[in-house]
Structure 1
């Protein structure tokens, strides 16, 4: 089967939403390659439309109506750029889909049918679209590390997920985890307790002011995870000369590798690391490569080929071509309107 229309990809995250489209007829996936970045990838046809407003979460979870308020004008703008009038398929990847996606699953497919007559819709956790963007359709694992941290893997039969439980219960090794550990070491130095770091205390005071005032600044805020993560680069900057900071990053690497081991298929496969935490550089990446080689020797570390928006387009192109490859899972990847569902 070969569609001649367009597919829409949506990447909804904590900092906003991105929308892009691809021309389905330009991508013949039948018998094609199965690696993102090869001939089977439906890359963006035009520059994405970006909204800086995150989709609201209400009592029922992610609000379908608020997403549509942003999706509808973005989609019309994208179609106007190419002279199109509809979509063969849509894939929405959203942060929190696994635990907060009930309203989205219940309402969004119907809203898309009424707006454009879309008959094939995929709703995915953002970790799944990150996986598709990074590795394409191969078995393997992807760890997305930013403020938080989550790992997903698949053998193309079922999905595995590890962590992603938020900064209070998990996200071990992520940006908020590193930042919190660095701030704790700074406060230990302030108190004169063992395990403190004078270097990190100096960084804390430069960033936040007097140490004794930091709890009053931090605890009342609703964006505590982001504030904690903002200190992770300071930990990285100290790591070359401060053994406490270096130890925090080594421990973060052990946690990230452990998450990788939990989701990697038993037979191994490719592993990609994605997310803003990688910008910390070699002070994190060198111990992380070592830990992955020890904890997941069956895995082969590869660079990510693309991002979650690329992954959403790839999954949408699968639906348009009637060639699903990823396993369905009600909380990881659910598909509506597909003949085999």
Structure 2
């Protein structure tokens, strides 16, 4: 009995196939799956590509998939999200799927059998937790209204500093020297439907510059840490002031060592947070949710 898990985000899509004992039978990866920042046909093709790659690993047929769980952006935030995604997925896995927010998949992967909170810090950012039967979320409101301390937020601040340096409003720094693209090309890519992931990619330049002591990059990351702290601090109001909770951090920004280490330093001072490593990756969490839904758990 096979179950499919698909974790789609603003930068990439990952698919995995498991059985009911959580053995992995296939994996696949492709581009972004956010219908509000990529066109519908692109999202459909990326989902199909990731799923087909996972199926081909062990020559499993799509008909062999008992149920699928799709963790996708904006679900639970925008009413039309489920309808748009359903129209796409029903052509791939008719009538055998459930759709939920992508962070819900990360949460289930991190803590499939216990209470906990996951801070998903990638292109966007959101904290989501479960305490007994209650699931709650903090931030994840998109790049225009929220996502404070996200890859997009950090990348946007990087570009603002870079263009100030370009104008001569502030002195050039190491961060400026890492920019290899023509500035006109940068402006072109920051406009339009696929700009979100592109802007977020500049967070890597900030992290690299911070390692070299760039004062502007360090300031950007310091601000991001403050936003992470605000987001996680809000969790305490959801769990009770005398309770402890496990917290797992996932997403690409965890690889930004200066940012993550500064955040961990603060976390270790909090007597109500226990840092934990995720039990499974988000795509497996999506597959576990598919299995639980199928079995009525």
Counterpart pick for 1:319 among 287, 290, 293? 293
Looking at structure 2, the residues matched to 84 and 147 of structure 1 have their Cα atoms a distance apart, in angstroms, of: 30
For the structure 1 residues 132 and 182, does the alpha-carbon distance in structure 2 shift closer, same or farther, using more than 3 Å as the test? same
Displacement of 1:243 after TM fit?
2.5
Counterpart pick for 1:171 among 143, 147, 170? 147
For the structure 1 residues 232 and 288, does the alpha-carbon distance in structure 2 shift closer, same or farther, using more than 3 Å as the test? same
Structure index of larger Rg: 1
Asked if structure 2 preserves the Cα contact closer than 8 Å seen for 1:178 and 1:229, the reply is yes
| 1:1-341 superposed matches below 5 A | 5-15=1-11, 17-24=13-20, 27=21, 42-44=22-24, 46-52=25-31, 54=33, 56=35, 66=44, 70=48, 74=52, 77=55, 81=59, 86-98=64-76, 99=78, 100-103=80-83, 115=94, 118=96, 121-193=97-169, 198-203=173-178, 206-209=179-182, 213=184, 216-240=187-211, 241-263=213-235, 265-266=239-240, 267-281=243-257, 283-294=258-269, 296-323=270-297
In structure 2, list runs of 5 or more residues that go unmatched: none
- CA deviations 1:77-103 (Å, max 9, x no partner) are 469835895444332221222224231
Displacement of 1:270 after TM fit?
0.8
Looking at structure 1, the residues matched to 14 and 152 of structure 2 have their Cα atoms a distance apart, in angstroms, of: 24
Asked if structure 2 preserves the Cα contact closer than 8 Å seen for 1:91 and 1:123, the reply is yes
Looking at structure 1, the residues matched to 133 and 69 of structure 2 have their Cα atoms a distance apart, in angstroms, of: 20
Looking at structure 1, the residues matched to 61 and 193 of structure 2 have their Cα atoms a distance apart, in angstroms, of: 43
Displacement of 1:159 after TM fit?
1.9
Asked if structure 1 preserves the Cα contact closer than 8 Å seen for 2:123 and 2:200, the reply is yes
For the structure 1 residues 69 and 256, does the alpha-carbon distance in structure 2 shift closer, same or farther, using more than 3 Å as the test? closer
For the structure 1 residues 110 and 49, does the alpha-carbon distance in structure 2 shift closer, same or farther, using more than 3 Å as the test? closer
Looking at structure 1, the residues matched to 154 and 223 of structure 2 have their Cα atoms a distance apart, in angstroms, of: 9
- Of 238-247 and 70-79, deviating more is 70-79
TM-score by length of 1: 0.70
Displacement of 1:234 after TM fit?
1.7
For the structure 1 residues 102 and 152, does the alpha-carbon distance in structure 2 shift closer, same or farther, using more than 3 Å as the test? same
Asked if structure 1 preserves the Cα contact closer than 8 Å seen for 2:155 and 2:200, the reply is yes
Asked if structure 1 preserves the Cα contact closer than 8 Å seen for 2:44 and 2:88, the reply is no
Looking at structure 2, the residues matched to 299 and 23 of structure 1 have their Cα atoms a distance apart, in angstroms, of: 33
Q: Secondary structure at the match of 2:222?
A: helix
TM-score by length of 2: 0.79
Looking at structure 1, the residues matched to 229 and 26 of structure 2 have their Cα atoms a distance apart, in angstroms, of: 35
Asked if structure 1 preserves the Cα contact closer than 8 Å seen for 2:30 and 2:50, the reply is no
For the structure 1 residues 74 and 269, does the alpha-carbon distance in structure 2 shift closer, same or farther, using more than 3 Å as the test? same
How many residues end up aligned between the 2 structures? 288
Displacement of 1:23 after TM fit?
2.2
- CA deviations 1:40-88 (Å, max 9, x no partner) are xx242x1224454747569xx979x948983998499469835895444
Looking at structure 1, the residues matched to 75 and 194 of structure 2 have their Cα atoms a distance apart, in angstroms, of: 20
Looking at structure 2, the residues matched to 6 and 21 of structure 1 have their Cα atoms a distance apart, in angstroms, of: 6
